Structure 1
Amino acid sequence: MPKLYTAHATAYGAAGEKVATDDSRIDLPLSLPVELGGEGGEGTNPEQLLAAGYSACFQAALGIVSKRQEISLSPDTQVSTELELHENGDAYDFKIHITVSGSDVEGEQLQHLLDETLKVCPITRATQNAELSVSAG
């Protein structure tokens, strides 16, 4: 499997004070939401970042699948992701809901596109059986 691209990001601070990419395109303060016991603050949080990334990734995959199937999507097509954080014993899980709107494709044809996009989207695939390594640097 040939590697196409590698993204690098680092979170800083014991409490997660900032996240940045190595090319500085993302350099954001982090804040723990009030719902999770934090002060709220001006920053974003990992859940928002993942929801944004998932929306963008799914939108791109939807575009690829529609081109492969020679289906023209409206430029008004939008992908929204709602990501819920749930406590599961001593761990945490996500529940994710994706909504596609503004598309001129409907019914069975749209459902087929969405089903195929779920198979192609790397974030969807990564959340199923991701190869993961963790190490101390």
Structure 2
Amino acid sequence: MKILYTAETTVHGGREGEARSSDGNLVVKLATPKEMGGTGEPGTNPEQLFAAGYAACFQSALMLVARRQHVDAGKSTIVSKVGIGPIAGGGFGLEVELHISIPGVDHETAEKLVEQAHQVCPYSNATRGNIPVTLVVEN
């Protein structure tokens, strides 16, 4: 693989700290959700960041494969849900649900585009076989 870009962030304080990108464009306060024992203080968490990254990446892949087929997916939306919980043997695992809507595109075409995007998207390729990923086409 030829690397085209490398993102770099530094985190201090774990889930109760801060994340900052090397270029300064991303600076976020991190906070553990109440559901996981957090205080409820304002802040994001790794699961929200992963959900945002996956959704943005998947939508770009979707628009790419749609454009190649002369289909307009510019008004598509992706709702990404990332769940975290304990797994057998200790530790924690993730699962992902992507809800995809492509207005103006019939359901069969939307399903084909979503499956093709799932083959192109780097997040999908990274998670494939590692965590459950469910794709829900809502056309």
Determine the structure 2 residue equivalent to 1:28: 28
Give the percent of matched residue pairs that are identical in Structure 1 and Structure 2.
33
Determine helix, strand or coil for the equivalent of 1:84.
Answer: strand
Determine the structure 2 residue equivalent to 1:134: none
The residue identity in structure 2 corresponding to 1:76 is K
- 1:48-75 Cα deviation digits (max 9, x unpaired): 00001111111111111111222122x3
Determine the structure 2 residue equivalent to 1:42: 42
Cα distance in 1 for partners of 2:41, 2:16 equals: 13
When normalised by structure 1's length, the TM-score is 0.87
Tell me, yes or no, if the aligned pair for 2:32 and 2:40 is still in contact at 8 Å: yes
The gaps in structure 2 that reach 5 residues or longer are: 131-139
Q: Which has the higher contact order (CA 8 A, sep 6+)?
A: 2
When normalised by structure 2's length, the TM-score is 0.85
Cα deviation for residue 127 of structure 1 reads: 1.3
- 1:36-56 Cα deviation digits (max 9, x unpaired): 011121110000000011111
Please provide the CA RMSD for this pair.
1.6
Tell me, yes or no, if the aligned pair for 2:14 and 2:30 is still in contact at 8 Å: no
The gaps in structure 1 that reach 5 residues or longer are: 131-137
Change in CA separation of 1:57 and 1:14 when aligned onto 2, cut-off 3 Å: closer
The alignment of Structure 1 onto Structure 2 pairs a total of residues equal to: 129
Cα deviation for residue 103 of structure 1 reads: 2.1
Determine the structure 2 residue equivalent to 1:17: 17
1:63 pairs with 2:63: yes
Cα distance in 2 for partners of 1:103, 1:7 equals: 32
Change in CA separation of 1:53 and 1:14 when aligned onto 2, cut-off 3 Å: closer
After TM superposition, the runs of 4+ consecutive aligned structure 1 residues lying more than 6 A away are none
